[in-house]
Structure 1
Amino acid sequence: MMRDPNIIFILCDDLGWGDLSCYGQQTLKTPNLDKLAEEGIRFTNFYTTSPVCSPARASIMTGLHSGHLPIRELTDPYLPDELWNMAKMFRKAGYVSSCLGKYGVGKGQHHDDPIRKGFDGHYGYNCMGHAHNYFPPFLIENGKKVFLKNRPPEGDYYQWTTGIGVAEVKEEYTPDLIEEKALRFIEENRNHPFFLYYCTNLPHANNEGWVPNNPEKQTADGMEVDDYGEFADKPWSDNEKGFARMIQRIDQAVGKVVEKVKELGLEKDTIIFFSSDNGPHNEGGHQVTTFNSAGPFQGFKRSLHEGGIRVPFIAWSPERIPGNRVTDELAYFPDLIETFTELAGLIPVHYSDGHSLVPLLTGNEGKQPKHPYLYFEFMGQIAVRRGDFKYFRDKEGEEALYNIADDVHEDHDIKDKYPEIFEELKAYIKREHVDYRPLPIPDGEASLVSKMRKRRR
């Protein structure tokens, strides 16, 4: 009988559906991720719940979609400690857990927020702005600042305090430090079930190194890397060379994780998941069109068009997940807490908007529960996907209906041709949207869950 598996979830920051060669990328190569997909299962209809990081990561933690979350915008403060979340679940299941890299759930939260939420350890970045900086003066470890050899410009007290900015002295590249911590965590916990939440901040831009409408602050630091490697002589801007190097570094890190798992003989007892928090960015001097990061889709980060919310998702486990499979199953981030709960041997007792993907992952596709539809909202935009049809409302209130199967780029509004389907999908908004305040929930989990359940009666 197999024991409860180790779970490694590698989450990228602003990686596009089209940035991996196994998803159609033509210029950049990702051999380790291609192999992971070939030996595992690759999803083609997997979605984030929000086109920006903080709400998406809050959804991963809680299993709630963007109409139910207490964090829905980048400026929303933090998750209430009382809310059930993924870290608490793994602690209850007896796992050792660690969040390494960019936690990024909320804004203005305490440095020890990942620990307060239930992780046994955290190393990396707590807030979003700090994670822009690849050569910061410090990182956060279990709520405390750990100072590095990098140095801000003289007099940059803001960067010394917050970590936000562009370093003058660049000696320690944080993706290296976080990668080292991840490999060490796997080795140190090889004899005990563990959950590794490996949240690289690659390939996010350093937005302080490239400021729109300010030519004096538009530098190669917008996509800062340790070096350009094999891309140094490419006929691209330095920012695009930096982006290419970031994609390569992601792929290399995945390769090292798989190698470590195999080296320790853990492949029979380990499942690796890989995804991105939202669609590709168009920031830091990088253009989303340069490498076709959004693939065949319209939109990118901050948009509820497919390019902003459809993300890569791969699952790998030689003994537990039959390989060489591609699925078009409709799935999204709220499914992860349910999936992880089942894999960890627990029975779900808390509300979520997802369901377990274990039947599909393990080859029992006929037993996989189906989503009747998926709901999304962000900054006045709303989207509902049901089967091949998608309702879309932009921030100006203009509405449309698309057939994603026939019109993946969302160019042709067909609401006049299918008025009944349009109204049916629009009606889901009232059912799924719960009003909120960007503050801690006064009554904890119960008040939010009771609102959601009333709406579903």
Structure 2
Amino acid sequence: MASFTAAQAQSKKKPNIIFILADDLGYGNVRSFNPNSKIPTPNLDKLTEEGIKFTRFYSGNTVCAPSRCALMTGYTMGHAWVRGNAKAKDGLAALRAQDTTLAERLKGNGYKTGMFGKWGLGDEDSKGAPHLKGFDSFYGYLDQSHAHDYYTNRLYEIVGGKTVEVPVDTTKYTEDLIVNKAVDFINANKDQPFFLYLPLTVPHAELKVPVELLKKFQNADGSSKFPPETPFEKKGNYGSQAQPHAAFAAMVNKLDTDVGTIVALIKKLGLDNDTYIFFTSDNGPHKEGGADPVFFNSSGEFRGIKRDLYEGGIRVPLIVRAPDKIASGQVNPTPWAFWDVLPTIGELTGTASPKNIDGLSFSPLLSGKKAIKEHDYFYWQFSESGLKEALTQGDWKLIRFKDKGTVEKLELYNLKADIGEKNDVASKNPDTVKTLYALMKQAKTPSENPLFDWSEVEK
């Protein structure tokens, strides 16, 4: 049953859903989560004041595509089809026809659906193309590698019901083009229920911003406000950047400004009492293209970054602004994760969720109540350069490392006593290790997708 507010019940209008997803933004890069952050984020701070700050929210994975798969489908990495980043190969890196997404569910319930930004779950010729996964409108990048290029000559758009390549003026910053399309979508659908999925590409590398944005973080003589700077030389997908600290700060600030644009538009259109706004990140902070997560304390008090299963790689900021500002200003430590978003939004909108997914609805939290049911444990899996697995139950966390032909390594942390995961207490708590290890085996099934088959690693 839908959890509508009083204002929504009176208007009999289903709530709008806006889900904003940053790319590789660390927990410590949002000032309302880390007061010592060097980068101002006034719009996100204001959103936090008007909403609920969730301090133990987890991404679906520690890299892009699988995390987004968990978000869209409601499955953990123990059961998902896409369990890692991969180039399209025979469609295996894309969602399948049977992989039902949040957008498909909402569209089936009368919602206009739009996505603007980075998809990462299927190219234009695959079964995972945006027009086949529930989106009426889309504009942006299909592939995560392409999304490193902020001055590209092409993007993709749904035109005539199909996802097609469209030309782009290479002098235009794509973040601006994407946000403008999102604004147009809101304006066009303001009189009907809509789902706006806004997976923005900043602040992921490459570290590049328009000159006028970079100047905000430079002194009058053009030097960086964040010395010392170590210039980054072009490598792979990432272009050179003389001032990576200043550029990264400008990208986070740009993200904050764009969030402010969306929130201001909702208020201007009088949609405050009809709209849920979610803001989070797809995984922990990166150190690619010259990014410096240590300098910016991007992981906050947590250990690790992107590609780690320590908290810094998977714990991400979550802000939810509910209609009527219900429970505004609250700080909620309840643990939940990306795979819970689909059923949570489903309950908020009166939309049925697929059966047998891993996610649970946490919609009561968004009105300041306790969740009706919570998870017994949380599980992650990451299979680049060997296999990493993590499982949390309460305050305990077990991390497993295994590569082909090697002896597995197990680390155990008590997050309540050691939030920075500095003290491995596995040897002192063998019974806890045994219990969590058994749950770890229970939490997963062999991957159906051969691209992410870890059976050889297990041997």
Q: Write the deviation string for residues 136-189 of structure 1: whole angstroms up to 9, x where unpaired.
A: 011101111111121xxxxxxxxxxxxxxxxxxxx1000000111111111110
1:383 alignment partner in structure 2: 390
**Higher mean C-alpha deviation, range 173-182 or range 313-322:** 313-322
Partner residue of 1:225 out of 209, 219, 239:
209
1:392 alignment partner in structure 2: 399
Report deviation, 1:346: 2.2
Distance in 2 separating the partners of 1:111 and 1:66:
20
Assess, with a 3 A threshold, how the Cα gap between structure 1 residues 229 and 350 changes in structure 2: closer, same or farther.
Answer: farther
Paired AA for residue 174 in structure 1 = T
Assess, with a 3 A threshold, how the Cα gap between structure 1 residues 320 and 34 changes in structure 2: closer, same or farther.
Answer: closer
Q: Which runs of 5+ in 2 are unaligned?
A: 1-8, 87-91, 220-224, 230-242, 453-459
Distance in 2 separating the partners of 1:195 and 1:320:
19
Q: Cα RMSD over matched residues?
A: 1.8
Report deviation, 1:282: 0.7
Contact 2:122 2:143 in 1 (8 A): yes
Report deviation, 1:36: 0.6
Distance in 1 separating the partners of 2:180 and 2:341:
26
1:11 alignment partner in structure 2: 21
2:378 alignment partner in structure 1: 374
Distance in 1 separating the partners of 2:124 and 2:104:
21
Paired AA for residue 225 in structure 1 = V
2:166 alignment partner in structure 1: 146
Assess, with a 3 A threshold, how the Cα gap between structure 1 residues 400 and 183 changes in structure 2: closer, same or farther.
Answer: same
Q: Write the deviation string for residues 303-345 of structure 1: whole angstroms up to 9, x where unpaired.
A: 1011100001110024163201001101000110001111121
Report deviation, 1:416: 2.3
Q: Write the deviation string for residues 329-367 of structure 1: whole angstroms up to 9, x where unpaired.
A: 0100011000111112123342211111111111222x5
Partner residue of 1:103 out of 108, 119, 137:
119
Distance in 2 separating the partners of 1:112 and 1:83:
9
Assess, with a 3 A threshold, how the Cα gap between structure 1 residues 138 and 248 changes in structure 2: closer, same or farther.
Answer: same
Contact 2:280 2:317 in 1 (8 A): yes
1:345 alignment partner in structure 2: 350
Report deviation, 1:405: 1.0
2:412 alignment partner in structure 1: 401
Paired AA for residue 230 in structure 1 = K
Q: Does 1:272 align with 2:277?
A: yes
Contact 1:77 1:107 in 2 (8 A): no
Q: Does 1:56 align with 2:67?
A: yes
**Higher mean C-alpha deviation, range 110-119 or range 135-144:** 110-119
Sequence identity (%) = 40
1:289 alignment partner in structure 2: 294
Q: Does 1:359 align with 2:364?
A: yes
Assess, with a 3 A threshold, how the Cα gap between structure 1 residues 193 and 56 changes in structure 2: closer, same or farther.
Answer: same
Number of aligned residue pairs: give it: 404
**Higher mean C-alpha deviation, range 350-359 or range 325-334:** 350-359
Contact 2:96 2:128 in 1 (8 A): no
Partner residue of 1:67 out of 59, 78, 83:
78
Q: Does 1:308 align with 2:327?
A: no
Partner residue of 2:97 out of 71, 81, 85:
81
Contact 2:105 2:352 in 1 (8 A): no
Moved over 6 A (4+): none
Paired AA for residue 226 in structure 1 = P
2:204 alignment partner in structure 1: 204
Q: Write the deviation string for residues 275-295 of structure 1: whole angstroms up to 9, x where unpaired.
A: 000000011111111110011
Q: Write the deviation string for residues 420-442 of structure 1: whole angstroms up to 9, x where unpaired.
A: 1111111012211111143699x
If the length of structure 2 is used for normalisation, what is the TM-score? 0.85
Q: Does 1:21 align with 2:31?
A: yes
1:258 alignment partner in structure 2: 263
Assess, with a 3 A threshold, how the Cα gap between structure 1 residues 430 and 395 changes in structure 2: closer, same or farther.
Answer: closer
Assess, with a 3 A threshold, how the Cα gap between structure 1 residues 94 and 129 changes in structure 2: closer, same or farther.
Answer: same
SS of match in other structure, 1:288: coil
Distance in 2 separating the partners of 1:255 and 1:370:
32
SS of match in other structure, 2:249: helix
SS of match in other structure, 1:381: strand
SS of match in other structure, 2:69: helix
Distance in 2 separating the partners of 1:262 and 1:199:
21
1:131 alignment partner in structure 2: 147
Report deviation, 1:261: 0.2
Contact 2:95 2:127 in 1 (8 A): no
Distance in 1 separating the partners of 2:40 and 2:128:
37
Distance in 1 separating the partners of 2:74 and 2:268:
33
1:246 alignment partner in structure 2: 251
